[in-house]
Amino acid sequence: MSEEKVLIMGSGLPGMRASLLLANAGKTVYLVEKLSNIGGDAIKNEESFPKLECSTCMVAPTQQEVLHHPKIKTMTLCKVEKITGKVGKFNVSIKKKARFVSETDCIGCDACFPPCPVSISNEWEENLIDKKAIFVPCPGSLPNVPMINTEHCLHINGKKKECKACVEACMFDAINLDDKDEMIDVEVGAIIIAIGSETYDVSTLSQFGYGNNPSVYTAMEFERLFSSNGPTKGELTLRKTEKEPKSVAIIHCVGREEQGYCSGICCMYSVKHAHFIKHKLPKTKIYNIHTDICVADKTYFNFVENFRDKETKLIYHSSMKDLKVEKNGNGLSVNYLSGLGAKEKLDVDMVILASAMVPGEENKEISEMIGIDLDNHGFFMTKKDMVGSVESSKEGIFIAGCAEGPKDIQTSVIQAEATVSGVMKIFE
Amino acid sequence: MSKVIKIDINSKQGLLDFLEHLLSNNEISGVMSLRKINENGICDYGLITEVDDLKSIEPFAPVMPVNASHILSSITPAKKPIIAIIKPCELRGFVERVKRKQGSMKNIITVSYTCGGVLPLNTFQSDDNEKIVSEYFETIKGTDTPENVRPVCKACEHFIPMTADITISVFGNKDFNSKSCLMMNTEQAIKLSKSYKCEIVEKKMDDKLMDEILKKRKAGKEKLYKEIAITKDGLDEFVDIFGKCIGCHGCSRVCPICYCTLCDFESSNYDYKVDLIENELSQKDGLRLPPDTIFFQLGRLNHMSFSCIGCGQCEDVCPAGIPVSSIFKKVGESTAELFDYIPGKDVEEIIPVMMIKEQEFPEVGE
Amino acid sequence: MKKKIGVYVCECGPNIASKMHIDKILESVKSHNSEDVEIVPIKHKLLCSVQGKKFLEEDIKKQELTHLVVAACSPREHNTTFMNICKKSDLNPYLYKMINIREQVAWVIPDKEKATEKAIQYINGGISRVQYQGELFENKIDAIPDVLVIGGGISGIESALSLANEKRKVVLIEKTDKLGGNSVFYKKLLPRQGAEKDFIAKKIAEVTNNKNIKIHLETELEEILGFLGNFEVTLRNVNNKDNKIEIKIGATIVATGFQLSNPTSFKNVKYKESDEVYTSLEIEKMFSEKGKILLSSGSEPKTVALVHCVGKDEKKYCSQICCNYMMKIANYFKEQSKEIKVKEFYKDLCLPNKDDEKLFRDTEKNGVDFVRIKDIDIQGNEIKYTGINGKNEKTKFDMIVVAPPIEPKAGTKNLSQIIDIPLDEFGFFQEVHQTTNPTGTATDGVFIVGTAQGPKGISNSMLMSQAVSGKIKTQLIPGEKIIPEVKTSEILEAYCMGCKTCLEVCCFGAIYFDEIKGISRVNEALCRGCGNCIASCPSEAIRHKHFTSEQLFQEVIEILK
Amino acid sequence: MANNGAKISFKNGLQNQMRDFLKECMKKGIFDAVVLPVRVPANDSYAWILMNDISIVDQANPIPPVMPVQGAKALKSLTRKGDGILKIATIMKPCEIRATIELAKLSQVNLENITLISYDCPGAIPMSIYNNLSDDMEIFYNDVVSENNFVSEKMKEVCGFCVDFSDVPDDLHFGFTGLENEVYIIPNTGKGNSVLEKLEMKSSENLSQWKKNVADIKKIKSKNRIDIYKQVQPTVDGLDNLQKTYEKCIGCHNCQSACPICYCRQCFFDSTASEQSANTLIDIAEKRGGIGFPRDKIMFQVGRMSHMSLSCVSCGQCMDACPVNIPVAKIFSFVSSKTQNTFEYRAGFSGDEPIPLKVYKDDELSKIHEIVKNAESDGSEHE
Amino acid sequence: MEKKDFTPKIIGFLCNWCTYAAADQAGALKKEISPNFSVIRVMCSSRIDHNLLLTTFFNGADGILIAGCHPGDCHYDKGNYYARRRYALLKDVMKTLNLEPERLELSWISAAEGKKYSEFVNKFSEKIKKLGPSPINESKLF
């Protein structure tokens, strides 16, 4: 039993779920995460639909369990470089990026942040806030150990070799600026790919004016903006003006036509966002501008209907290409074609774009490295012409969660557990 | 003969002065005594640790809101010395509890006094409390027991404390209101009094006087035992007396001897399956519900009567007005005699071992 | 025996050390020394460090501690760490208490004096509490790896197939006389359009021939008792109720599937007033049996209307698959003859899977018209509708196909009572947690899969089955025992009056009633140790093994001193 | 409450009429046994007797002047461990029936084979008074019944303001308020109906007149009730007043052991869990300068209120049992009226209403008025 | 009523999964928390019964806060709903007897709401400080 090992790529909910099931069954799990913290995108949400429950409460216990599990080797800042062999015996080489902070010695006291002279933008927080060159993505992120950004750290990038501010601030000698990347080779019997997805780059769609108008946000940006552990600690104020929006337009299906598929969850989180705003700023006018309302679960339909007209006005528009967001004085105006085909105009202070979920950058790279197929969208594909499968085109390699295609947490978790079934079969 | 502190003020003041001295000099950490809690004379037992508050004590008040032995159990073993002013029967109750490991003598200095008896709660707590109490104290300057005290008190022969460290003469003390004498009976007591500046004489109780009281009390006992019909442990008389018992078990809850957290008679052993009762019914033509009302009393007699110190608390709380304690005292004495055992006489004395065969007693239910 | 309590204060480097006077703390806790308690106060730079752990482990042994109090960071950080150390140095881990003086003292109380006081207060509380804590032990219990699957549809079959092997037998029961459920009627399967009728047939063959799967047709569940790893089940024949089978299994999978709701029950459909109004399933049957879709007259329809979302508003949920299969059906017609004019009436297109949109566009290319409507009314074979543009239209069709909502299979309610799993507001089985545990139920060891849990396609149903099999395979490993929660509730027999209050408030069915003794009992295999039952008991007849009233009282009272 | 009933006129007393009714039922085998109050041998009280011999029924008094043991307790001792084979009937005062219903919800009583019979209750005389002059009280009470006087001064105080003296979910009800030598036998349940059917009694009489009579009495009583509550409120307003009200309390817990609802085998407040170590007590005493005993006087009362006020039926047993005459029952009745109102619950009025603490509603904060308002405003941000 | 030297003693019963986590997060965010507030960790707010609350009051607590997961988020499914009822009942009794019900408080604070936690706790401590010492602690009668 104990000899049986599994590689799991991606530490989002599906990755963690699969890890725990397998580890509890006595398998050794290498949980590889490219970021410095685990938990995936779920922890970026204040609350998740449809039950609107606190995501941290939902995910944190799982994170803790994963980190404390003797059978799970959590490998943050890691990237799989090479995979050879076949089912039952894959040889995996993993590149571990230098963190420069010892995970065993650091106790997460944050003492090293203030002295660091460098400020850089925090992409985990959707660049809504700055962080130091030594940082954790957000308070409460796990493992609670900072990392150093090599290209901005003055000592490491050589701009100011003598700067050791963080080293001096640390009481545990946990920081080692000479830390080096290292290669780790492991041998596993099976592999689960759960690296999730990314979101459509809306700045490429000029019609929404994202980038030019600071009051246009992506859905992810909004999630962080709203989060009580986010950049504004939950204050709903617009960037630049720092005023609270009096009216908000939430635009669904951004990038759907371009991508050629519906992401399945945007309608839900867009209405959720409407509810968030309504709850924090009850006076705000909110509009959800949508095409098809896709509520593909038994409870989703009610979720939307309960907020319709009560908290937000759902407006159908008939043509995506005719939808434009333009500057209008200090605010914005949304122009669209109504169901009747009439030109309509809506003046708002804030626009949120429900951008499509798109395949991760590394998908291609990984698929080639392992030799498994992607579908024509660029998501990982499960066995050809096989209904209801989580196994990739190569035996012993499984796909779970949004790496396989857009889906909600629930379905991701189901897929993750399904991969576990496949993995266990291999070891039987 | 024992050392006696004499002070020329009335007994209460004398004691108070002594206590104030001890407390303010940290000879003791607190005083456990009856105290007034409002103007119309209502008293409770208090553990007092501030000198100023000592003023409120009523050490000799003829009332027993709770049998003090309960309280002593809860505050012992004490880490620092505490003086407890309690009645002779409460003291004996405490001794019985200590024997049962329900309390400890450690750091407890007991002060008791010759007791004229206790007034029933409702008598004492009545509106003309003041009048009643002053009459009481007037009476007990002599050797007569006041008429309105608890029935068992009239029949109590153990009005002289048995194991007190300090004894104060109250019953039969005509100088009660002018002088106070504190008899130091034990080394512990004498050690305490060392630092107390005062006149110390050798003295002992006035045996003649005490015998006289004892005689009267013996007579009182005869009288009481006549009043309550029970001449033998006959069941019919029992049923007559306990017929109105509502089974609230208040008597056992206030009893200083009943120390069980869960009384056997309240345990699941005695909740019967209905078929058992129905079958019982088929043999009798009527069955009392709940079934064990009287059985309980018999059981309790067997469990503890030999240790009954006759404080009368049970009788006072009985909502049905059953002369519980009189009966227990009577039965208790007869059982205790078998082992010539006087409950509460001495901590070292062992409790007479008793076998209980519940089968001996027929299932009750008239 | 004299208690010897180790009080270890972690300086956590500067985090704690710089915020309070550690030595003052160590001094003050000595006040607990008495003839039956000895306190061993010790400080350490960083207890969670490698050296720190080693030191603690050895010191517990060296000092022969009977109890341990560790004052450091939050128990959420390192409780497990120190419990493991206790185990290593054979001190029962439940005789230890962790005090949080970092997150909840050092970091939130700037004033050094106050912080010190606070820490002392907490630690005192811990010292008092730990003395009232008792040893607890894990008790392993045997578990049966075998599984019962209820329902012979595709979900049930997939569950059985993914679980059965030499070491794990599966019992599959089906109410009707054949396997396959609704799916046997589909000519083609979504999402891909390959002719996959044999896919189901293959599956059925596979399950029938699997020697590790025992199939009982025309069989239903009569009774099920027990918990994860140990269920006792009684099955009975549907036609002859006295014909019973009793089996022991470790887990149960509910895969009872769906049926289409009767379209006549919806206000805007006058179904069966014309013979030419069909439900999607009727068409599937016709197509897969006859290979053609014809009018009752036997002639081929010229114009066909496909109406989505019939009764969605009444049911208050979207059935998720209708849009897809209606396009599939549209393509059936087009295959049959390009001439047939097909119009699809829909309100919203629900295309949640990555391949769905493609199907939609292909279907459009295939010449099928899509009409977005606000409202629709089907009267015989005439359709009145209001378009999204607000215009009211009226057209006749040779044939009308409606997509009524998926609803739970008849008998679901009945089963839910037998197996004691609640139903949701729509009558589907209620999962224990929609997002993180969609296949689990309130009873550990009973799982729900496929459309029994809610509307979904074959693919997702099968994935759900595999998900459950993944859980079962990792939780019920053949030959291995299972270890239930240690910190559970327990009934104090002497005091329980059998009022069943605890039984009713327990969310996990972990309390059952002992009819003979007339008292409640805790099933430790199910108890999660929340303590709800304890608070529900007016007397102290239930206690939480690790959160007894005494323990909490001691902590509180000490802190209040 | 049924709208029709059977009417019977009688000559020598209602009690006789009720006894005859029961005997008839026993003869016809409708009941195998009955539970009735019988005067104890010393004649100074009543005891509940389970009897299967028709001849003894005559010794019983279906409407006794006192309530020594709350009837619910008697039934509990009989059926707590399940139902038997005998079909048993009992006649009890309405508050006893209500307590029984509460206990049934707590599985302390099993009503499977029990038929509950009640009547328009004139009240009960306090034990202490009855004990000493039982014979006079018997005569007095007989008159009360025959004159059907429902507002007699001599009764327990709780009876004086008992608005539910007739309104009770019994199987059969003897209604005689405002009637002369007549009584309605009213079937309120299927059980009740079948009894009358077996007796071939038609329950066709319209009850509106009787109901009106009851309503009139109710008016008087509810006025008393308001007055009493008005008078109780200040005596329990704040800790100081509470202490004053309970200063005589000696902690005997008779009120709890006499209470039909307090079904715990051992009250928490008598349990070791509630005990404190000697050191703790002494520390507290030193901190405050002194403490009094029993310490839990107030805590015990508040505790009981939070434990069982939702099920309190205001039968007044606690007050009867109190050796120091604290008006416990009035206070409890007052508090219960509030809590039961908060949870929209009436103790013992229907077997179907679940005990409030056994259930919950998802969104009830608003319903449990401002009590939890704070939680609402601070907490509901995510609801 | 308010005494200069009065430092109230407040007990907070926090559920392990939400509010206790929030308290930790407040620490991580270095939010200042009133030292008068003492945390007792329980697994679920539903563990808190009347006996526990009363014992806490009668042993000198000036205020009590019960805090757990938001309704619907309970780690044990439905626990906090029951907690809410029990709280409501005791609060009602205290209100009826005018035993300063404002000394007993219930709040839902999720694991992510460290900020809310610190604000709420400090606000509550202030309120209690204004209320002054609980009369129970002054009494020499028990």
pLDDT tens for each residue of C82-136: 999 999 999 999 999 999 999 999 999 999 999 999 999 999 999 999 999 999 9
pLDDT recorded at residue A224: 94
Chains E/A: 3 or more C-beta pairs closer than 8 A? yes
| pLDDT average, residue stretch B319-323 | 92
pLDDT recorded at residue D369: 41
Q: Which two tokens stand for residue A315?
A: 């407006």
Helix (H, G, I), strand (E, B) or coil at A111: coil
Nearest to E27 by CA among C12, C556, C50, C47: C12
CA A314 – CA A296 distance, rounded (Å):
18
Helix axes C322-336, C356-365, angle to 10 degrees: 30
Report which DSSP code applies to A123: G
CB pairs under 8 A between A and C: 199
Q: How confident is the model at residue A228 (pLDDT cuts 50, 70, 90)?
A: confident
Inter-residue contact D124 to D66 (CB < 8 Å) = yes
Residue of chain B whose Cα is closest to the Cα of C493: B268
CA D152 – CA A78 distance, rounded (Å):
89
Q: Kindly tell me if the per-residue pLDDT of B358 is higher than 60.
A: no
CA C194 – CA C359 distance, rounded (Å):
12
Q: Which residue, chain included where needed, has tokens 């969660």?
A: A401
Q: What is the mean pLDDT of chain D?
A: 91
C-chain residues near D265 (CB < 8 A): 494-497, 539, 541
Contact A109 C14 (CB under 8 A): yes
Q: Kindly tell me if the per-residue pLDDT of C191 is higher than 80.
A: no
CA E65 – CA E84 distance, rounded (Å):
12
Q: How many CB atoms lie within 10 A of CB A305?
A: 17
E-chain residues near A60 (CB < 8 A): 21, 111
Nearest to D45 by CA among D143, D127, D124, D125: D127
| pLDDT average, residue stretch C187-204 | 72
Q: Phi then psi for B8, rounded to 5 degrees?
A: -95, 50
Inter-residue contact D314 to D158 (CB < 8 Å) = yes
pLDDT recorded at residue E111: 85
Q: How confident is the model at residue A1 (pLDDT cuts 50, 70, 90)?
A: very low
The interface predicted TM-score (ipTM) is: 0.82
CA A421 – CA C467 distance, rounded (Å):
7
CB pairs under 8 A between D and E: 150
State the amino acid at position E76 in one-letter form: Y
Between vectors from CA D44 to CA D43 and to CA D46, what angle results, nearest 5°?
A: 80
pLDDT recorded at residue A229: 82
Residues 334-373 of chain D whose Cβ lies under 8 A from any Cβ of chain E: 334-335, 338-339, 342-343, 356-357, 360-365, 368, 371-372
Nearest to C545 by CA among C91, C132, C100: C132
CA D366 – CA D372 distance, rounded (Å):
8
Q: Kindly tell me if the per-residue pLDDT of D366 is higher than 60.
A: no
CA A403 – CA A412 distance, rounded (Å):
9
Q: Where are the alpha helices (DSSP H) in C98-164?
A: 112-132, 154-163
Contact E82 C536 (CB under 8 A): yes
pTM for this prediction: 0.83
Whether E140 and chain B come into contact, CB under 8 Å, resolves to: yes
Q: Is A109 exposed, middle or buried (0-12, 13-18, 19+ CB in 10 A)?
A: buried
Q: Is D361 exposed, middle or buried (0-12, 13-18, 19+ CB in 10 A)?
A: exposed
**Which candidate from C12, C428, C439 shows the least CB-CB separation from A414?**
C439
**Which candidate from A54, A108, A139 shows the least CB-CB separation from E111?**
A54
Q: Phi then psi for A254, rounded to 5 degrees?
A: -75, 115
pLDDT digits (tens, 9 = 90+) for D19-35: 999 999 999 999 999 99
Whether E30 and chain B come into contact, CB under 8 Å, resolves to: no
Q: Which residue, chain included where needed, has tokens 């949920």?
A: C317
pLDDT digits (tens, 9 = 90+) for B182-235: 999 999 999 988 888 888 888 888 889 999 999 999 999 999 988 876 555 567
Bond preceding residue B290 cis, omega within 30 of 0: yes
pLDDT recorded at residue D377: 46
pLDDT recorded at residue C544: 94
Helix (H) or strand (E) holding B221: helix B207-227
Q: Is C445 exposed, middle or buried (0-12, 13-18, 19+ CB in 10 A)?
A: buried
How large a percentage of chain B has pLDDT more than 70?
94
Pairing of strands B199-203, B2-7: antiparallel
CA E67 – CA E117 distance, rounded (Å):
9
Q: Kindly tell me if the per-residue pLDDT of D379 is higher than 50.
A: no
Inter-residue contact C123 to C71 (CB < 8 Å) = yes
Whether E141 and chain B come into contact, CB under 8 Å, resolves to: yes
Q: Which two tokens stand for residue C37?
A: 């308690």
Q: Kindly tell me if the per-residue pLDDT of B362 is higher than 80.
A: no
Inter-residue contact A59 to A14 (CB < 8 Å) = no
CB pairs under 8 A between A and D: 5
| pLDDT average, residue stretch A88-117 | 92
C-chain residues near E21 (CB < 8 A): 76
Q: Kindly tell me if the per-residue pLDDT of D271 is higher than 80.
A: yes
State the amino acid at position A414 in one-letter form: I
**How far apart are the two ends of chain C, measured CA to CA in Å?**
27
Contact E61 C76 (CB under 8 A): no
Helix (H) or strand (E) holding A9: strand A5-9
CA distance C110 to chain E (A): 7
Q: Kindly tell me if the per-residue pLDDT of B354 is higher than 60.
A: no
Burial profile B152-188: b = 16 or more Cβ within 10 angstroms, e = fewer: bbbbbebbbbbbbbbbbbbbbbeebeebbbbbbbeeb
Report which DSSP code applies to D375: I
Contact E25 A229 (CB under 8 A): yes
Inter-residue contact B141 to B171 (CB < 8 Å) = no
D-chain residues near C504 (CB < 8 A): 358-359
Inter-residue contact A57 to E69 (CB < 8 Å) = yes
Helix (H, G, I), strand (E, B) or coil at B63: coil
C295 has which bridge partners? none
D-chain residues near E142 (CB < 8 A): 291-299
Report which DSSP code applies to A168: H
Task: Give CA A132 to chain center in angstroms.
Answer: 21
Q: Which two tokens stand for residue E84?
A: 């809410």
CA distance D334 to chain E (A): 9
How large a percentage of chain A has pLDDT more than 90?
81
How crowded is the C-beta side of C293, counted as CA atoms within 13 Å? 30
pLDDT recorded at residue E26: 92
pLDDT recorded at residue B365: 44
Inter-residue contact D8 to D183 (CB < 8 Å) = yes
Helix (H, G, I), strand (E, B) or coil at E38: strand
Contact C348 A293 (CB under 8 A): yes
pLDDT digits (tens, 9 = 90+) for D135-167: 999 999 999 999 989 999 999 999 999 999 999
CA C90 – CA C85 distance, rounded (Å):
9
Nearest to B270 by CA among B158, B338, B365, B187: B365
CA A134 – CA A118 distance, rounded (Å):
9
**A257-271, C183-197, E76-90: the lowest-pLDDT one:** C183-197
B-chain residues near C541 (CB < 8 A): none
**How far apart are the two ends of chain D, measured CA to CA in Å?**
40
Nearest to D241 by CA among D250, D251, D231: D231
Q: What is the mean pLDDT of chain C?
A: 91
